[in-house]
Chains A and B, each alone.
Chain A
């Protein structure tokens, strides 16, 4: 129920999840906002410090009778998005819930044979009670919707410089994704209408990600110098090593474009006419990067997916210069594991060759089970 044969959630599953988790009246996040007012804490599912701090995107395995582990869906592809909820962007969580089925459906379409794992979070300012909501990577409709309802949008504040760089920090240094281990990359999107402050503060990092943030960064394989924390530019450069990362700009502020272009480069700052169109723009970028959508087909794709003519033109112009085919050009792209591949251990990076799949795993020092008790 609610899942396609490939293991992906259907639109009906999202509708059901929305019915279960979203109240009919008021903002979807009402209960979470009340909780933060009362306790000052986020639900650990979306608290950047929750559940071990590091966000993981891992393969979905089932163990077979021969003790090998079978990939149930396909290569997990993490898609992390952080959306501005300050000032005029305060309704973005409700918008994200509304467009979630479309977002997921389009991702699945562009990531053929893969397992899209989505984490859509929100950011505010360091002066706010909540600076960042960072959920877990998910592929299950119920859990995706539930996590969105646990977010706490800021709503207040102006549209001046924001603090999205703490979210970028998490994405760069506190993400553990299987796809990195096989030499491919996931996707990362920052959505805002404003520039960012330019300095990480150690105390804020501990406040947002917990007191053990630097130990966790270290555990995740990164070495940071506490006395010389990375600049936004360095964070983005590190993020680009593990993700196809983009800034999606809402509005047409020249200062905003200039700021993010300095960080990401012109080819990675993309026009987003309205937050509601994030799924279509993200899917376009993913499709072009994966090679599952040709540039010539973008306009039709957008029009087919309810994007107006003028907005479609803006998007087409904006995505024309992204690194098209960047994922497909990576050396291991053609060797990507597929649904049904068998792994000797679930911690292995690569499946075993099919001819070895018939062999049973070595038993180590285990006794003959037919004679033990």
Chain B
């Protein structure tokens, strides 16, 4: 029987460094399986001490070690992306059995390229006022599944004889949805791209191509029944790691609408899924954050400091792109971190924190932290101590509240404190500094600090 599940949760808006943390935990604990949650748009970077390096999307971050991946029913998959990623891992990284290392729950929702077109065209229609999206269509697929459940395509239906009709129906709905958007105004630099994507929406040969690609998925990858997780995975001895995309600050109802995800990112939803599958063992809950603040794309970020980009991002795989927009960095925002922890249930909801990219802090010689904001005085949103209040809800009012909270945050001015960090300081001492500062401010113990890209650069205590 599986004796322990490690659940790794990004406490920011994503990009916290989950890939390296999941890889380290899975390697160190000899995990037999990684369960993937969230969406196919994630890019979790892993560098191994052997010199391998890759940003995983739908395969788990233990794949280089031969650890299996199971895609849960709460993951939105990209069928074409599965084929592409599997081929890359097989042919560029020599993992010959990569398709055998993956199982997909038959209930996993499929994002189609049509959802991607819709996502990107809508984002381009926003012109200079972006929402921020990765543009893969994961959110669109999720929202459409809620609006038109009969149109949703599940992994278990990829070999269904009527798949072409199903995809055509998805296409038709998306055509109707974006018709008024397409007839609107676009930035001159986006027009060619909009025209190209709109043309593919009409192209029947492209539809046939998609059907052929989707049909190929069940030939390559094992699509499994809902009982598989309990029957085949939790019945195995050892350890499982849960790896999810997104972060708490992009949760559907606790992120800052409209700069949020369509899906729920809180650990409680993952844990409910584990319990539903019959797992009643220990769940070790690990929160992840970079040692500095990062946000890729639009959305509130009070500590955003463009002057720090050059100091904090060298060596990172993060880069700007049309749909997600700019990568922004700044001092680590403890106010937002406390908010994220509180959203998940408070400090008791975590057994430990993993702090990534501390090597960059060491290189810079200074660790900047935001402990409070100026202008955080509206008591609808902040306590008298300047802590962000957590409102619970799952409706339109909640989204309105979160949008207003986001606006409040955009008016906040961070107060920054700085800790000097010696470049020649030993990792032990740096670990102690990091651990004592964050335990004091957040109430959660630091259990892993990353001083470099590989698993051997992670100090765990």
Interface, chain A (partner B; CB < 8 A): 20, 31, 34-35, 38, 44-45, 51-52, 54-56, 58-63, 67, 136, 139, 142, 345-347, 364-367, 369, 372-373
Contacts and interface: CB of A to CB of B under 8 A. Distances in A.
B212 A31 contact: yes
A20 B286 CA distance: 45
Contact of B51 (A31, A63, A347, A365): A347
B92 interface: yes
B148 interface: no
27 contacts: A34-B205, A45-B87, A45-B91, A51-B87, A51-B92, A56-B91, A56-B92, A60-B96, A61-B66, A62-B66, A62-B97, A63-B66, A136-B90, A136-B91, A142-B219, A347-B51, A347-B52, A364-B49, A365-B456, A365-B458, A365-B459, A366-B456, A367-B461, A369-B30, A372-B447, A373-B284, A373-B352
Nearest to A38: B205
Interface in B19-40: 28-30
A60 B97 contact: yes
Nearest to B49: A364
Given A136-B91, A365-B456, A372 B205 contact: no
B127 interface: no
A147 B105 CA distance: 28
A218 B152 CA distance: 47
A373 B6 contact: yes
Nearest to A178: B94
Given A347-B50, A366-B28, A373-B352, 13 more contacts: A20-B219, A44-B84, A51-B87, A51-B88, A52-B88, A56-B91, A60-B97, A62-B97, A346-B50, A347-B51, A365-B458, A365-B459, A372-B460
B351 interface: yes
B28 A44 contact: no
Contact of B28 (A55, A62, A369): A369
A55 B49 CA distance: 23
Nearest to A139: B96
A58 B94 contact: yes
A35 B203 CA distance: 13
A63 B49 CA distance: 16
Interface residues of B, number: 34
Given A63-B66, A142-B219, A373 B447 contact: yes
B209 interface: yes
B91 A366 contact: no
A131 to B, nearest CB: 21
B65 interface: yes
Contacts of A346: 50, 94
Interface string B35-70: 000000000000001111000000000000110000
A278 B94 CA distance: 28
A38 B29 CA distance: 50
Contacts of A31: 212
Nearest to B94: A58
B109 to A, nearest CB: 26
Interface string B422-455: 0000000000000000000000000100000001
Nearest to A37: B205
Given A38-B205, A56-B94, A369-B28, A345 B50 contact: yes
Contacts of B286: 373
A294 B152 CA distance: 62
Contacts of A54: 92
Nearest to B65: A63
B88 A35 contact: no
Nearest to B461: A367
A268 to B, nearest CB: 29
Contacts of B461: 367, 372
Of the listed residues A67, A346, A365, A373, the one surrounded by the most CB atoms of chain B closer than 10 A to its CB is: A373
Contacts of A59: 94
